[in-house]
Structure 1
Amino acid sequence: MRKTIYIITLILLIIGIPLFEFMAFNSMVSLKYETRKLTDCISIVSGIDLCNAIRTFHILAILCGLIIIGLLIYRKQILKQKSENEI
């Protein structure tokens, strides 16, 4: 993996964590105002299962974090492997 692609991937993943958490927060607001009770998960307005959306956004944020950790731990192997193949 070239260094520029590696850095761009890290930046996108770092941006992804707060973005997915904001999307989960936004769905929580929708859950509050678009359902009759807080225990209901289906939106009256759009018909979307908001509990599933919140769970999905949290999982995506966690996956971004885990991928960042993996890329940082194996940084030398990832960058070294590709640079040896290019020579």
Structure 2
Amino acid sequence: KTRQKGKKKKKNINLNQSKKQSVSFVCLTCHEKEEIPLSVVRDFDLMDDGDPTTPPMFSCEKCGGRMYPEYYEGVHGIKYRLSDIL
């Protein structure tokens, strides 16, 4: 019983961690929200040789507009917040 309880707790911890492993993006045009896996956002951030003051951005699947992160701390330590640009 003790081992089973430990396993259940471990599963819950893993589920909670997986929920945090994404970044919420909001379309600047239609305000649609989308969760994008943190690993994908980090990969795009690392591949981008452009302006580090611009966060990784994606296209909205609903309208094609630009999607901005609600909150994301980039690989260079810069924090991007949707509230900062609105």
Instruction: Provide the TM-score with structure 2 as the length reference.
Output: 0.30
User: More helix by proportion, 1 or 2?
Assistant: 1
> Based on CA coordinates, which of the two structures has the bigger radius of gyration?
1
User: More strand by proportion, 1 or 2?
Assistant: 2
